[in-house]
Amino acid sequence: MINETTAVAFRQNLGEMLNQVQYRHDSIVINKDGKPVAALVDARLFARIRRMQARFDALCLRIEAGYAETPEVEGLAEIDAAVTDVRAGR
């Protein structure tokens, strides 16, 4: 379950919220001035997020290397054409 709280309430109830995350595997979004600024998540979930980020970064590097010799204008034109095809339902 994902709960939301204010920064003030989070500070006042830190122990309880840590228990929610640790034992119930809840996540808590912390809002400041009505905007989300941080999240408290289970350590296993955080480790999974970090692994996924590392895989995504590696994939981005592979894609970047594959297009290293492609001029920027040509690459952008290829992206625009792909977007147009997808939007046209092809």
In tens, the pLDDT along 51-61 reads 999 999 999 99
- Return d(Cα 57, Cα 80) in angstroms, integer: 23
CATH of 2-41, one of 3.40.109, 3.10.620, 3.40.1620, 3.40.50: 3.40.1620
pTM of the model as a whole:
0.68
From CA 43, how far away is CA 87, in angstroms rounded? Answer: 39
Q: Report the distance separating Cα 7 and Cα 19, nearest Å.
A: 17
Each domain of the chain, given as residue ranges in start order, spans 2-41, 44-87
Model pLDDT for residues 7-41, shown as the tens digit of each residue: 999 999 999 999 999 999 999 999 999 999 999 99
